[in-house]
Amino acid sequence: MPRYRYPVIPESEVTPKAVFDNRRHFLRQGFAVGAAVMLAPSMFLTKNAHAWADVLKPALESDLPSQELAGGEALTDFRDATTYNNFYEFGTGKRDPEVFAHNLPVDPWSITLEGELDKTGAIPLEDILKRHSLEERIYRLRCVEAWSMVIPWIGIPLADLLNHHGLTSRSKYVEFESLYDPDNLRGQRRSIIDWPYREALRIDEAMHPLTLLAVGMYGEKMPNQNGAPIRLVVPWKYGFKSIKSIAKIRILEEPPTTSWQARNPEEYGFYANVNPDVNHPRWSQARERRIGESGRRETLMFNGYGDEVAHLYKGMDLQKHY
């Protein structure tokens, strides 16, 4: 399927890229020192700055395999997908992430792998990107708040990363943690949830081929407001499971408590599978508002991915294990 380039690039993204390209040009021309000071002195203070971005850029420009897994539905407009967000680290308003996420310190980035794995430790993102191939997946995204989108993600199957690090017989659950950095992430200075944002999957959910570690969307690197530089995407579960800006992955034998369960276990279960028959205590989950459309549409069981994932929950009472 053809890939696309979205013409509408927010102003906030254009400027840093232009500065970056300019800088490379000047470096080639031999004006390195003077130009560097004029353009952005702080760029040169960080060791390994741009290491992962330099690996990601050519990969995004190559012809990636792409799978359309949203029933041919129209893509959500890039602007909507990047201006209507949930990222409580930057506030609870839908526009807060777009306004404040430039403060997310994404470079350099590493993920610390801990727990029941053969190989643990802090892995620089560039090493992950060099080791695993990227692919594009077009998925529906259904938020627990009853809105939805269709997004072309680019990423690595989570199973590829976990297999590389060697699961053991005690690897039963995968816990994820977002970056904790209240100096830069203003929302973390308020007790909105128990920070850092923590989510988890059962190991068979984590190893399912639909479960993606996304580093881009719409053919571009992940915008900060969408969870740069690397986030989870689990398309058959409510969006809150798809944790952003992952700093730590811990493999456990026992089920961990997620941030949303800790905050309100009656409203947010561990599984959080999209299910039109199990209402949120404060609203119905039978229908949803597709961002960019008027009216409401029916919510699909497992967000339409039942053929692929229903077997994971065979014999479970989904009214109880919500």
- Please identify which residue in 138, 143, 207, 230 interacts with ligand MTE, judged by CB under 6 A: 143
Binding of ligand MTE by 240 (CB under 6 A): yes
Phi and psi angles of residue 11, each rounded to the nearest 5 degrees, phi first: -50, -40
Q: Which amino acid is at 34?
A: G
Distance CA 33, CA 27 (A): 8
135's CB contacts (< 8 A; 6+ apart) are 64, 65, 66, 67, 154, 155, 156, 157
Distance CA 103, CA 228 (A): 11
Binding of ligand MTE by 215 (CB under 6 A): no
Distance CA 40, CA 306 (A): 50
Find the shortest distance in angstroms from Cβ 237 to ligand MTE: 10
Q: Which amino acid is at 189?
A: R
178 vs 261, beta carbon nearer ligand MTE: 178
317 burial class (0-12, 13-18, 19+ CB within 10 angstroms)?
exposed
171 vs 242, beta carbon nearer ligand MTE: 242
Radius of gyration for the alpha carbons in the chain, expressed in angstroms and rounded: 20
- Please identify which residue in 152, 157, 239, 304 interacts with ligand MTE, judged by CB under 6 A: 239
Give the DSSP H or E segment for 249: strand 246-252
Tell me the window of 51-59, 80-88, 103-111, 112-120 that interacts with ligand MTE (CB under 6 A).
80-88
Binding of ligand MTE by 178 (CB under 6 A): yes
Sign of CA dihedral 61, 62, 66, 72: positive
Q: Are 32 and 44 in contact (CB under 8 A)?
A: no
What does the chain come to in residues?
322
**Minimal CB distance to ligand MTE: which residue?**
239
157 vs 227, beta carbon nearer ligand MTE: 227
208 vs 244, beta carbon nearer ligand MTE: 244
119's tokens: 């190989």
Tell me the window of 30-38, 45-53, 109-117, 237-245 that interacts with ligand MTE (CB under 6 A).
237-245
76 vs 171, beta carbon nearer ligand MTE: 76
Find the shortest distance in angstroms from Cβ 71 to ligand MTE: 19
Binding of ligand MTE by 242 (CB under 6 A): yes
- By CB under 6 A, the residues from 82 to 141 that bind ligand MTE are 85-89, 141
Binding of ligand MTE by 244 (CB under 6 A): yes
Find the shortest distance in angstroms from Cβ 238 to ligand MTE: 7
Binding footprint of ligand MTE on the chain (CB under 6 A): 85-89, 141, 143, 178, 197, 226-227, 239-240, 242-245
